[in-house]
Amino acid sequence: MKPKSKDTPAITPELKARREKARLKKQKQRALDDDSAFEKALKVLEKTAETNPALERVMLAGMGELMSRYLPIPPVKPPFAYVGSKSRYAHLIIKRLEDSIKEVRDTLVYCEPFAGSLASFLAVADTLKAKGIRRVILNDFNPHLINFYRMAEAHPDLLIEEINSIEERFIESFPIEYSLKMGATIPHEDRPALEDNVHAFFKDHRTALQHDESLNNIQRAGLIYFVLQHGFNGLYTESQKGNIGTAFGWKKKRIFLNEITEKIYGLHFVFNSFQTEFTNKHFRDLDWLQDTFFYLDPPYIESGKDYLACGFGLDEQKELLESVQASGAPFLYSNNNHVFLRDLLDESVTVETFARKNIVAGSGEARSDDKEELLAGRTSAWPFNLQNGKWLEIPLKAMTKER
Residues 6 or more apart in contact with residue 360 via CB below 8 angstroms: 367, 371
Nearer to ligand SAM, 158 or 235 (CB): 235
Is 309 one of the binding residues for ligand SAM (CB under 6 A)?
Answer: no
Measured from the CB of residue 324, what is the shortest distance to ligand SAM in angstroms? 13
Beta carbon nearer to ligand SAM, 117 or 219? 117
Where are the alpha helices (H) located in 273-393, listed in sequence order? Answer: 314-327, 339-342
Q: Does 84 bind ligand SAM (CB under 6 A)?
A: yes
382 binds ligand SAM (CB under 6 A): no
Q: Measure the CA–CA gap between 215 and 198, rounded to whole angstroms.
A: 22
By the rule CB under 6 A, 82 interacts with ligand SAM: yes
Residue 97: partners with Cβ closer than 8 Å, 6 or more residues away: 124, 127, 128, 293, 295, 332
- The residue (of 31 and 209) whose beta carbon lies closer to ligand SAM is 209
Should residue 278 be labelled a site residue for ligand SAM when binding is judged by CB under 6 A?
A: no
CB distance 113 to 59 below 8 Å: no
Nearer to ligand SAM by Cβ, of 156 and 299: the residue is: 299
Instruction: Determine, following the binding rule CB under 6 A, whether residue 336 of this chain makes contact with ligand SAM.
Output: no
Task: State yes or no: residue 88 binds ligand SAM (CB under 6 A).
Answer: no
Among 73, 76, 80, 86, binds ligand SAM (CB under 6 A): 86
E strand map for 75-221: 109-112, 135-139
Distance CA 161, CA 218 (A): 10
Using the rule CB under 6 A, is 89 a contact of ligand SAM? no
Which CB, 23 or 88, lies closer to ligand SAM?
A: 88
Say how many CA atoms lie within 13 Å of 333 toward its Cβ: 28
CA triple 86-78-322, angle to 5 deg: 40
Alpha-carbon gap, residue 204 to 260, rounded angstroms: 22
Residue 135: strand pairing partners = 109, 275
Number of residues that bind ligand SAM (CB under 6 A): 21
Q: Which is nearer to ligand SAM, 85 or 276 (CB)?
A: 85
Contact pattern for ligand SAM over residues 120 through 139, marking x by CB under 6 A? x-------------------
- Tell me if 282 contacts ligand SAM by CB under 6 A: yes
Largest CA distance in the chain: 101
Which CB, 148 or 312, lies closer to ligand SAM? 312
Q: Which of 293, 307, 331, 391 binds ligand SAM (CB under 6 A)?
A: 307
Which amino acid is present at 30?
Answer: R
Should residue 85 be labelled a site residue for ligand SAM when binding is judged by CB under 6 A?
A: yes
Q: Least Å distance between CB 209 and ligand SAM?
A: 15
- Cα 146 to Cα 48, 179, 201, 320, 347: the distances in Å are 44, 31, 24, 21, 35
Which part of the chain contacts ligand SAM (CB under 6 A), choosing from 23-31, 152-160, 227-235, 305-313?
Answer: 305-313
Judged by CB under 6 A, the stretch of 113-121, 147-155, 174-182, 190-198 that binds ligand SAM is 113-121
Q: What is the smallest separation between the CB atom of 232 and ligand SAM, expressed in angstroms? A: 17
Burial of 56 (0-12, 13-18, 19+ CB in 10 A): middle
CA distance 374 to 92: 11
Instruction: Pick between residue 113 and residue 156 the one whose CB is nearest to ligand SAM.
Output: 113
Q: Does 312 bind ligand SAM (CB under 6 A)?
A: yes
SS3 136: strand
* Residue 119 lies near ligand SAM (rule: CB under 6 A): yes
- How far apart are the C-alpha atoms of 289 and 282, rounded to whole Å? 16
Which of 37, 83 has the CB closer to ligand SAM?
A: 83
- Of 325, 321, 323, 337, the residue nearest 402 (C-alpha): 337
Q: For residue 225, state whether it binds ligand SAM (rule: CB under 6 A).
A: no
In the complex, the residues that contact ligand SAM under the rule CB under 6 A are 82, 84-86, 113-114, 116-117, 119-120, 140-142, 282-283, 297-299, 307-308, 312
